[in-house]
């Protein structure tokens, strides 16, 4: 490091400095910035925590329950048999099973501005339940052996796609379901 030595004070040659040399007081600007950084973090954290009070209708679903995949499969098949490609009455719970590489229903028709209760689970590997369309993007994980229950209320009519957003195998990109929302 002789070359470097020529340019600088030798005692700083290896960038190691004595305690007195580096232990400096914080300047005014540094103090301002430390306080700002913490305030920003507190603003971010407070916003997300208080959002539970301000808007309880846009939250990560809190219902999840362990379930035997075979039991859930039965529920999803029953639902699909009755309601696939059909209009779902508002008080009917929707059961969707994810499996390599399809959803247990191909299409459902929902009513606008109506609460619908969904239960989603996987029968094999991890999947992702992603709703896209009309400016809407919602992403939830779908786990094997665990039902995820959530309520959705679509505020715009139109066609929405449900795709799989967590890699589940080669046919992953082909998993598709349509949610049609009508008035």
Partner 1 sequence: MDLVKFKADNKTKQVIFANFLMALVSIVIGGIAAIFIAIGRSGISELFSLLNINHEYYYRWLTLHGMNMLIFWILWFEVALLYFTSTVILNQSIHGYKIALTSLTTMLYGQILVEYSILSGESDVLFTAYPPLAADNLFYAGYILFLLGTGVAVILFFVNIYKAKVNETYKGSLPLVTWGAAIAGIIAITAIFQGIIILTNTLAWKIGLISINPMTYRWFFWGLGHNAQYVNVVATIAVLYALIVLGTGFKTINFINERYAKLAFALVTLFVIPGIGHHILVDPGFSTILKQASGSVGSHFLSVPTMLHAFALLGALEATLRSSGHTSLLGWIRKIPWKNPAMATIVLVLISFGIGGITAQPLTTLQPNLNYHNTFWVPGHFHFMVAGGTTLAFMTLIYYMLPILISKRIYSIKLVTIQIYLFFLGILILGLSMIMLGYEGVPRRTLINSSLLPSWSISPLILVGGTLAITAGIMFVLNVLLTILLGKQGENIFEGFITNYDIKETSNVSKKGSLVVCFIVIVILLLIFFISFVRLTYMPSLY
- Judged by CB under 8 A, the chain residues 87 through 116 that form the site for partner 1 are none
Candidate residues 73, 80, 102, 155; the one interacting with partner 1 per rule CB under 8 A: 155
Site for partner 1 in 156-175 (CB under 8 A): 156, 161, 163-173
Please, are residues 67 and 121 in contact by the beta-carbon 8 Å criterion? yes
Q: Which stretch binds partner 1 (CB under 8 A): 72-80, 82-90, 91-99, 144-152?
A: 144-152
| Residues 19-48 close enough to bind partner 1 by CB under 8 A | 19, 21-24, 26-27, 29-30, 32-34, 36-38, 40-41, 43-45, 47-48
Question: CA-CA distance, 164 to 176, in Å (whole number)?
Answer: 7
- Report in angstroms how near the CB of residue 122 gets to partner 1 at its nearest: 9
DSSP 92: -
Tokens describing residue 98: 């994810």
Contacts of 12 (CB under 8 A, 6+ apart): none
107: left (phi > 0), else alpha (psi -120 to 50), else beta?
beta
176/130 Cα distance (integer angstroms): 10
Return the number of the residue (80 or 165) whose C-beta is nearest partner 1: 165
Contact residue for partner 1 among 136, 157, 158, 178 (CB under 8 A):
136
Residues contacting partner 1: total by CB under 8 A: 88
């Amino acid at each position: 490091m002789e070359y470097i030595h020529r340019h600088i004070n030798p005692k700083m040659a290896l960038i190691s400095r004595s305690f007195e040399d580096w232990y400096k007081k914080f300047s005014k600007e540094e103090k301002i910035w430390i306080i700002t950084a913490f305030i920003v973090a507190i603003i971010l954290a407070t916003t997300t925590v208080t959002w539970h009070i301000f808007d309880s209708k846009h939250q990560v679903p809190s219902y999840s329950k362990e379930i035997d995949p075979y039991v859930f499969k039965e529920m999803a098949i029953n639902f699909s048999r009755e309601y696939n490609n059909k209009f779902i009455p508002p008080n009917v719970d929707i059961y969707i099973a994810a499996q390599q590489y399809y959803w247990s229903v191909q299409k459902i028709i929902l009513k606008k501005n109506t609460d619908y209760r969904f239960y989603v689970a996987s029968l094999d590997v991890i999947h992702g339940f992603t709703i896209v369309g009309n400016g809407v993007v919602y992403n939830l994980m779908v786990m094997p052996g665990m039902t995820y229950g959530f309520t959705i209320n679509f505020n715009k009519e139109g066609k929405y796609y449900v795709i799989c957003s967590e890699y589940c195998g080669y046919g992953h990109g082909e998993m598709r379901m349509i949610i049609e929302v009508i008035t």
